[in-house]
Amino acid sequence: MSKHHDDHRDGHPVARFVALLEAELAVLVDAPAWSLDAAATADLVPRLAQVVAGVQELEARVIGQAGVLDLPGTIGARSLTAWLARVTRVTGGEASRKVRLAGDLAAHEATRVAMASGRVHAEQARVIVAAVGDLDGQHHLRDKAEEHLLGEAAHHDAHDLKTLGRRILETIDPDQADEHEAKLLEAEEARARKRTTFTLWDDGEGLAHGRFTMPSAQASVLRKALAAIAAPKHVRATGGAGTYDHERPTPERLGQAFCEYVERYPTDRLPTMGGTSATVVVTMTLETLRGGLAAAHLDTGAAVSPGQARRMACEAGIIPAVLDGQGHVLDLGRKRRFHTPAQRLSIGLEQQHCQHPTCTTPAAYCHTHHTVPWSEGGRTDTRDAVLLCPFHHHRIHGGVRDDTRATVASYPLRT
């Protein structure tokens, strides 16, 4: 039963409704939903969504009244949002959304009535009032735009309504449509650039964690790039048959694709830092480079396995360094060049695919491996290069005990 039973018989209509709703909901606490058949369930779900929308509109009206009565001041709250969060125990973010909705509905009567009757829900209402608000300086078109979008809400969700709202002038004022959309996109992109962030931290257990916020355009580029690397065809070619053999890349595979994307980014396109190209320096002993088991270290302070260090050395130039007993640099050699694009084309034309006997990964997806390691005087030329897919390249540098190393060492060209 309601805690405020007197509200059933007298008081404000809103108070009577809330008391009645409380009483009816109390009766339904133990009512089983499993006894509803398919037809009844399908009918009730959209009806309940309409009821919820109406209740949310009523809540917004009452929240607005709380602001008019300055209820935040009665408990010393700094704002209506802070007061709402305190008295309803919702988060600050949710309280802020509710307060904004209250203000939006108060300023857009047609949308408020539509939500009160259950014709639009809160998410749609927010999009509609935002689209109407974007018609800055065109007040004569706002009512017409609001009416049109409310009609479209019966057929479209909030995402589609946002798109329609951006192009609303195509319907009500076609002559201004393109200019209006361009201005909206410019403003949206400017806001996105200001809110772009990137943070990265290491957990000390071999993993780094990050969080980023970026404009939708650049996110689309990143999504496309990772999708290409994580595509099933590419994954099967690089990881072997049965490896991640699926049509939709998993979060794990996308994460690995991101790592590969970072590793393969052309370093000659990076800006300089302190007069030199942005470079990650790997410090290891000559014995480790030749196959030893000692860990290597990056100049960022991170430690890497011998296999990882050898693979990084194979894919990048090596800077020989002579150190004294305390690890101080006495002499730093000159970086040797990686295979040029012309050399890559020549090697690809000659070898065509990965040179492991069990693999046919095309040259475009392969790495260029030195048959004679740098540490043993290997040269960056087409005679001392072998195409290996990422899968077999990882294995040869990871110390895997199979015939990959022997096969590449003997290396008869397979075309």
What residue segments make up the domains of the chain, in order of their start? 5-193, 196-265, 341-410
Q: How many helices (H) and strands (E) does the chain have?
A: 19, 11
Q: Classify domain 341-410 by CATH architecture.
A: Orthogonal Bundle (1.10)
Segments of the chain with pLDDT less than 50: 1-2, 241, 243-245, 273-278, 320, 322, 329-337, 401-402, 404-406, 409-415
Cα gap 121→52, rounded to integer Å? 8
pLDDT at residue 272, as a whole number: 55
Cα gap 208→200, rounded to integer Å? 7
* Closest C-alpha among 325, 322, 293, 324 to residue 308: 293
pLDDT at residue 2, as a whole number: 46
pLDDT at residue 233, as a whole number: 57
pLDDT at residue 70, as a whole number: 94
- Going by the DSSP 8-state scheme, the letter that residue 69 receives in this structure is T
pTM (global) more than 0.75: no
Residue identified by tokens 């089983």 is 32
pLDDT at residue 404, as a whole number: 47
Outline where 204-268 has alpha helix (H).
216-230, 232-239, 251-264
